[in-house]
Amino acid sequence: MTRTMTPIELEEHYAAHNYEPLPVVLARGQGAHLWDVNGRRYIDMMSAYSAASHGHSHPRILAALEAQAHRLAMPSRAYYNDRLGLLLAELCRRTGLDAALPMNTGAEAVETAIKAARRWGYRVKRIPRDRAEIVVAQGNFHGRTTTIVGFSTEADYRADFGPFAPGFRAVPFGDLAAMAAAITPDTAAVMIEPIQGEAGIIVPPQGYLAGVRRLCDERGVLFILDEVQSGLGRTGAWFAFEHEHVVPDGLILGKALGGGILPVSALVGRRELTDVFTPGSHGSTFGGNPLAAAVGLEALHIIEDEKLVERSRVLGAFMLTRLRAMRSPALKAVRGRGLWVGAEIDPAYAGAREVCLRMLTKGVLSKDTHGTVVRLAPPLVIERADIDRALDVFEETLDEVARHREPAVA
């Protein structure tokens, strides 16, 4: 009799190998906890890259999903529906911007921003046809489409996926002088993350965002921020741009907007930017469907009602203080804001993936990035006791790798 394949074996056999998951098979989630198929509980210190900021299986999100699914889920944007306008109005109220265009994934919203910036460049700024450029930052991560990976500076994201679309200039993140030098009369927009997530939670120098805002105003260039990961409370503010008291011309949102259940994203912007779209010039079959709109609206209300922004600010400060007090030689640096932290591991002692694997065995789930950084970004609903426990495990793990491995000789 043929043996039944395990979940890991099934994925390894039938899935394209575009991920390298940690060896745990999850079956259930509630709040800031996850359970594997054997019933073991874990503290979630990853929150699905901010998609599960509300925690897993939030009862209000589930109720909104069920109620709307029974009413109307997917009529397409060929018709109006009674949910979408409510979501877009709340997004505009919360961001201080004028209009929004709904999409599904974060990458789709980024592509929407690129199209909007280019059309604005031609129709408003009067850039000569097909010469519009967008300035981006080195180390960026805006998604996985061919256009987006084409302006990535990470070799692994680009390898053998070309030819790529032209029209992008990459400059060092956090360097205002380099940004100023890159802007030309053909520049339509600057598009950056206010904090670079996939790059390792890279926080720019204080005043950088305000400086970019001033530069864009002086040069007649759009300022577009990708807050797919950093937005909706992750950094201890509704949006990371609020830490510097600036407002972008275009704001890209996603992940947490779906309440951990659905892909929901949007480009929110000034009317001058969003008005470049005309019927037929852009669209999405699923974007703006009433099921997604109902979930997205409830996700926004929960952030406000449960004071998740304040929780992120207070608990994030606690987490950063504890991490920065750790004196392990295996810990090189700690970077972050709110409940979004990158802990850089000295590769002389261990790789970040090894640290994550060791933490997994102790009941804490995290994920490495760029080989040396452990991401610590729990759901915003997490309790302080769970953060304490997760940081205890992290510190124990650092002690283990420091004790059992001598640093490599230079």
- Partners of residue 100 on adjacent β-strands: 268
Kindly name the residue from 44, 141, 286, 367 that is annotated as catalytic: 141
What is the pLDDT, as a whole number, of residue 3? 79
pLDDT of residue 410: 39
b/e burial code for range 68-95 (CB count within 10 A of at least 16 → b):
beeeeeeeeeeeebebbebbbebbbebb
**Looking at residue 404, what is its pLDDT?**
79
Tens of pLDDT along the chain (410 residues) come to: 467 999 999 999 999 999 999 999 999 999 999 999 999 999 999 999 999 999 999 999 999 999 999 999 999 999 999 999 999 999 999 999 999 999 999 999 999 999 999 999 999 999 999 999 999 999 999 999 999 999 999 999 999 999 999 999 999 999 999 999 999 999 999 999 999 999 999 999 999 999 999 999 999 999 999 999 999 999 999 999 999 999 999 999 999 999 999 999 999 999 999 999 999 999 999 999 999 999 999 999 999 999 999 999 999 999 999 999 999 999 999 999 999 999 999 999 999 999 999 999 999 999 999 999 999 999 999 999 999 999 999 999 999 999 977 654 43
Instruction: Tell me phi and psi for residue 112, to 5 degrees.
Output: -60, -40
* The predicted structure's pLDDT at residue 409: 44
Residue of 44, 241, 249, 255 marked catalytic: 255
Options 3.90.1150.10, 3.30.43.10, 3.30.160.250, 3.30.70.1290; which CATH number does 7-57+307-404 get? 3.90.1150.10
Catalytic annotation, pick one of 151, 168, 223, 226: 226
Domain boundaries, the chain: 7-57+307-404, 72-305
- CATH 3.40.640.10 for the 72-305 domain, yes or no: yes
The yes-or-no answer on residue 255 being catalytic is yes
Question: How far apart are alpha carbons 200 and 194 in whole angstroms?
Answer: 13
Residue 175 bears catalytic tag: no
- At residue 334, what are phi and psi to the nearest 5 degrees? -130, 125
Neighbours of 244 (CB within 10 A): 17
Residue position matching structure tokens 């304490």: 388
- Interaxial angle between packed helices 59-71 and 290-305, expressed in degrees from 0 to 180 and rounded to the nearest 10: 150
